[in-house]
Structure 1
Amino acid sequence: MLEIPRVVDNGNIGPVNAAQVPRFGGDTTFALLPRLRDLRDLAPAGTDRTAEIKIVGAPFDAGVSYRSGTRFGTNHVRQSSRLLRPYNPATDTSPFQQVQVADAGDMALNPFNIAEAIESVEADAMTLTEDGASLLTIGGDHTIALPLLRAATARAGQPVAFLHFDAHLDTWDSYFGADYTHGTPFRRAVEEGIVDTEAICHVGTRGPLYGRKDLEDDRRFGFGILTSADVFRQGVDEIVDRLRDRVGQRPLYISVDIDVLDPAHAPGTGTPEAGGMTSRELLEILRGLRGLNIVGADVVEVCPSYDHAELTGIAAAHVAYDLITLMADLRAGR
């Protein structure tokens, strides 16, 4: 087998060395990072290395209500991440140098049984974090966020704060009698008591609703709402200040539905809405959360069949990279 040169920094095994191997060749892992299963073989003899941050795919879209295809989003985001580099100038840190990061591959989820798939996501998330690792999950549709929140709360030992970046509320009750879909996870999360209702907020919402009751229910659950228009009118810095005030230092889970971005920036998604945030606004808001106690995150709803010129995949890859940076900075005490 050919030996693939990698960037090794601070003892951490990083991406394939793109100065020696073209980025467009070789295995497709997130940011060309090592596979979790290969870490032991790649580590120096006599050492047993694991990952402090794990990236896992959840290729599942049986919960979608409109355009399907996000089951293919996990590998699309990986492919779009090939151009990511080890140093993040926005934070002046190198996440892959600070901690060991690895791609854990994909969860095996039943595409015909939503209940079973939800159970599998929760079980796999618990297994992947049993050694104390942080988890970034790439979907898949937003149904997967509910079991990921369950796992994050179980690990934190308390209901977690929750920031939800999305065009939609995702707090509806049911679709066609189905209680578990990509539009219902956060109503279920409130009902199950797995989120701290003093510290939950939607960011980037917009578009028509079924009725005023949607907003009334949402307020009753405890959610704050910062719409895409709020981001535009108030600016990134004020939005960041409001989010930081709301969350404090509680254990925090972040979920990013890529349709929070305007279709001009992310056309490849299942339920696009006009008037969304720009990629720059989303990335700057995420960077403004540096130092918060992030215990897990996901990026979901990337639908490659609608992704013209790979815009959505690239945006999602950069969002994931900045979320990894936040978790690495936290672990490194930066």
Structure 2
Amino acid sequence: MYQPKDSSQSPRFCGVRTFMRLECLRATSDVNFVVVGVPFDTAASNRTGQRGGPQHIRNASVLLRPYNPDQEIQIFEYCSGVDYGDIDVVPGNIHKTYENIEKELTFILDNDITPIILGGDHSISLGNLRAFAKKFGPVALIHFDSHSDTWDNYYGEKYMHGTPFRRAVEEGLLDVAHSIQIGMRGPLYGPEDMDDARILGFEVLTMREVRQIGYAEVLHNIRQRVGNRPVFVSFDIDFVDPAYAPGTGTPEVGGPTSYEALELVRGLDGLDLVGFDLVEVLPSHDHGEITGGLAAAVAYEMVTLVALKKRAKQAKQPLGSGGAGYENA
């Protein structure tokens, strides 16, 4: 059983920085989840430096503890996990990077391990989804973001951080009829920038709609949309308002608070969650390291969801029956 070091016995400033002070091992035996970095950022269209995101999140995660009071669970009583390190990327070569991502994640998934993937820019999600579709077939997607990332191209390039989910639909990686995007906002080039995602088949909840219907209804919509399908969660840190997450490449004002974002992730308990990614953390713009702290907390809630799923399986609770956060508030 792999679990974090006890910071009451070993000071947090000691040792190599890993997520939550987990063992840094490429282990697949007796492991339920891995935290794995993909430090790729050469598909970003504005600010770059997201390659530093995985380590920035790890640095901020040393304050995390094994008991989650909001979900009322001692995480490592139910699951074992390690920091798997980083997948080797090829700067400037997105297709070779995709091959590396798919190969490594396929190996992890074939060992029935849940990956929590730290980016990197959002282009990495296409490589992630290729591996998940090999394991599960087309998966449902829950996508938290301020942008739909369904553009056809940037500068004539088809593979950028604003295009992964269009490519994923075209490649048949997504069960789009059970997929949903939440939080879209900000100026666009035209109405087609938002309409294209709906034409592709996604349910889209803009940030204005989120505010109008409330977070409890958002979680209800997510559950209704996803049902009992295997689901991948993609969380772009720019989903959160830049007042709470300034360290990102394409910030958009008018988003949720850090608390609201965490409650939405907590509220996914009970779904058939098979994997997660957390992308677009940009350390060079993260004054006070507040984005790193938030990103670490989001990843921590993802780890908690793995533990909750294990606990529910042990108790033989049906998937889709649980859920903390706004829905039960």
Q: Which residue of 2 aligns with 1:179?
A: 158
Q: Which residue of 1 aligns with 2:14?
A: 25
d(CA) in 1 for partners of 2:291 and 2:243? 9
Alignment of 1:26-175 (within 5 A): 26-37=15-26, 49-156=29-136, 158-175=137-154
Alignment deviations for residues 271-316 of structure 1 (CA, whole Å, 9 cap, x no partner): 0011111111111111111010001100000000000101110110
Alignment deviations for residues 136-176 of structure 1 (CA, whole Å, 9 cap, x no partner): 100000010011111111111x2111011001010000111
Q: TM-score scaled to structure 2, two decimals?
A: 0.93
CA contact (8 A) 2:244 2:257 kept: yes
Higher mean C-alpha displacement, 266-275 vs 115-124: 115-124
Letter in 2 for 1:24: F
Percentage identity across paired residues of the two chains:
47
Q: Tell me, yes or no, if structure 1 residue 237 matches structure 2 residue 216.
A: yes
Q: Which residue of 1 aligns with 2:254?
A: 275
Give unpaired runs (5+ residues) of structure 2.
Answer: 314-329
Letter in 1 for 2:34: K
d(CA) in 2 for partners of 1:251 and 1:277? 26
Q: 1:133, CA displacement in angstroms?
A: 0.5
d(CA) in 2 for partners of 1:96 and 1:167? 33
What stretches of structure 1 move > 4 A for 4+ residues in a row?
none
Where 1:312 maps in the other structure, the secondary structure is helix
d(CA) in 1 for partners of 2:292 and 2:257? 14
d(CA) in 2 for partners of 1:212 and 1:32? 45
d(CA) in 1 for partners of 2:125 and 2:197? 17
Higher mean C-alpha displacement, 136-145 vs 219-228: 219-228
CA contact (8 A) 1:36 1:50 kept: no
Give the RMSD, CA atoms, in angstroms: 1.3
Q: 1:209, CA displacement in angstroms?
A: 1.1
Q: TM-score scaled to structure 1, two decimals?
A: 0.91
- Equivalent pairs counted in the alignment come to 313
Q: Which residue of 1 aligns with 2:316?
A: none
Q: 1:49, CA displacement in angstroms?
A: 4.1
